[in-house]
Amino acid sequence: MPCVVDSMDNAVDKAYAAWPERLFVVGVDGKIAYAGGQGPFEFKTEELRQWLDKNLKTSD
């Protein structure tokens, strides 16, 4: 079975890792307003949806 072992410089991960590794929302102030868990297993899209619904201001 073929196997790839990354070196300490993490070159294989940098070249072939799937993106995004996390889901972020950046506020208008440039700071991270919401940071999800490391993906893909910690992507909680429903949690993000609830956060967006609660925190986004809409102009009606």
Rounded to whole angstroms, the Cα distance separating 60 from 53 reads 14
11's tokens:
């070159």
Under 8 Å CB-to-CB from 44, ≥6 apart: which residues? 36, 37
User: pLDDT tens digits, residue range 36-58?
Assistant: 887 777 888 888 899 899 888 76
Q: What is the mean pLDDT of the chain?
A: 82
Better pLDDT: 57 or 30: 30
Specify the pTM.
0.53
Rounded to whole angstroms, the Cα distance separating 47 from 9 reads 34
Structural domain spans, the chain: 19-55
Instruction: Give the pLDDT score at 45.
Output: 86
